[in-house]
Amino acid sequence: MIDENKILEKLKVNIALSNLENEIKSNSNDKNTLKNKIFVRLYKMKRKFAEAIIVAILLMSGLVFAHESLFSLLNEDNLSLKAEYKGNGKVAIYVENKSDKELKFENKIKLMRWSTSEEIPRISNNIKFKNTNFEPSSKGTMLIDLSKAYDLSLIEKPLELEKDHYYFVLTNNNFIFGQDWHCTIDFVENQTQNESLNIESNTGLNVGSNSNSNIEDVSSVSTVKIPKNETTSSNTNLEIIEELQPFFDEYVISSELRNKKISEYYQKVEQIIQKEIDNGKNIISPVNPHLFVKDPDKSIIFDSRIQNKLQYQLILEHHLSIDAYNIPIGKNDFEECMILSTTIPHYKKDINSTGGAILPLVYIYQYEVKEMHKPNTFAFIRGRLLSANDLEAFKVYQDEKYVCYDLTDLFYDNLETYIDTYTKNRTDIYIDEGVMTRIKNVYNYLRNKENLSNSFYYYE
């Protein structure tokens, strides 16, 4: 049962701290006046609120005045956060920094439960962050991997109380009051990974207009035919295993049909893999990405309608087990690859924004070098068994530990046909010549071997 007294106390704390913040803002140039008002405020509150005491200590020591940039109070009007659970411990937080200040989140996070106000215990401190810096007046997505830090079997269970929920606390300065922000998160997986990426839809494409007058009603459509990949079908080494080909003929939209199809696919793959292992093949798995792709140079322009300083936000990075067609990329749902994507605006009014629906473009697989050098080694990739020699032509990076392959050609061989198929059943996106140019520019940049090879870095 929720403790009403505890909730009331929270409200009192928030009101008191809000008043304290107003005192800070209105007296920021008068240090002595501000000191006196804070002492009076603390006395009237008659409680030892940790946040207020920290503020007072900072003010008394002169830290706030000496380092004004560290005490940048962003309220709800200046910062918008929305968290979305992708499954397997992966979280995307959509950030809109509406302020005139650069926002740099620290690689720190707290997972809290509302009804108890207690932090959720961790099993380790192994949390990975990506995309934590946001320019003034910009939008973007911060990626967080909690898979090794929390017991997912516990936090993914529905909470007992109807109005209870989990929330994150994020910070840009060690959780100091005024520099920490709350963001609700729901870990109950009622969507698949690709539904979270706006891949599923049951409506048609809206090209170059916000009018739906010419859009076919396809609400009853459950599948879309996938064009044949002429490049791989003409190379016997790259052909999909015959028994698995039916799984690659259609793009399944219905979540019920898709889940059934994926389950059947994994069962069939398991049987095939076991036979190959019995025949002496060493079948390896891709590693969870240890290498990441850095942002492009600031001089590179993908879409001239987007501010130059925001161009880098047109390339997104995800690590998923399912591709754009809702087809598994590996032999089980634990195997993932790096997917580099761009965005398509939802509406015409959004053409000057970097936000929108996600369009996966490039698929990167990472393996351990030592595994690739073992005898009779094969990798199972999207319905195919490929030898180390087969993969050599796709290599874009290698060091002493890991090797990376750009295997996009195994997913589609014609960009325009791919875009048409992918967007065929959507009315939630807007595409004009400028958006098509954006997509092609991002695609060409990422498919350039030299660009890609020089972009890999290790997350520290």
Neighbours of 281 (CB within 10 A): 17
Residue range 171-181: average pLDDT?
A: 73
Extract the tokens encoding 278. Answer: 């019995």
Whether 154 shows a pLDDT value over 80: the answer reads yes
Confidence of residue 341 (pLDDT cuts 50, 70, 90): very high
* This prediction's pTM: 0.56
Which pLDDT score, from 0 to 100, does residue 233 have?
Answer: 60
Residue range 444-448: average pLDDT?
A: 95
For residue 27, the Cα-to-chain-centroid distance in whole angstroms is: 40
Fold observed for domain 79-190: Immunoglobulin-like (2.60.40)
Share of the chain above pLDDT 90, in %: 32
CA atoms within 13 A on the CB side of 195: 14
Question: Which residue has better confidence, 428 or 86?
Answer: 86
CA–CA gap between residue 250 and residue 135 (Å, rounded): 41
Of 403, 291, 406, 311, which is closest to residue 352 (Cα–Cα)? 311
Mean pLDDT of the chain: 77
CA–CA gap between residue 18 and residue 235 (Å, rounded): 66
Q: In what order do the strands lie in the sheet with 384-387?
A: 282-284, 377-381, 384-387
The radius of gyration of the chain from alpha carbons, rounded to an integer in Å, stands at: 25
Whether 325 shows a pLDDT value over 90: the answer reads no
Which pLDDT score, from 0 to 100, does residue 234 have?
Answer: 60
Which pLDDT score, from 0 to 100, does residue 362 have?
Answer: 95
Worst-scoring range by mean pLDDT, 12-26, 75-89, 102-116, 411-425?
12-26
Whether 193 shows a pLDDT value over 90: the answer reads no
- Beta strands 282-284; 377-381: pairing state: parallel
Which pLDDT score, from 0 to 100, does residue 190 have?
Answer: 40
Sign of CA dihedral 118, 127, 77, 317: negative
Enumerate the β-bridge partners of residue 386.
379
Most confident residue range from 155-169, 232-246, 376-390 = 376-390
Confidence of residue 445 (pLDDT cuts 50, 70, 90): very high
CA–CA gap between residue 324 and residue 339 (Å, rounded): 9
Residue-range domain boundaries for the chain: 4-70, 79-190, 196-458
Of 86, 361, 344, which is closest to residue 197 (Cα–Cα)? 86
Whether 71 shows a pLDDT value over 80: the answer reads no
Which pLDDT score, from 0 to 100, does residue 46 have?
Answer: 42
Residue 370: phi and psi, rounded to 5, are: -60, -30
Whether 95 shows a pLDDT value over 90: the answer reads no
Whether 398 shows a pLDDT value over 80: the answer reads yes
Whether 284 shows a pLDDT value over 80: the answer reads yes
The residue to which tokens 């292992």 are assigned: 277
Which pLDDT score, from 0 to 100, does residue 399 have?
Answer: 93
Which pLDDT score, from 0 to 100, does residue 218 have?
Answer: 34
Most confident residue range from 227-231, 262-266, 297-301, 402-406 = 402-406
Question: For 288-309, how does the pLDDT look when each residue is reduced to its tens digit (9 = 90+)?
Answer: 777 888 889 889 999 999 999 8
Of 69, 15, 79, 86, which is closest to residue 44 (Cα–Cα)? 15
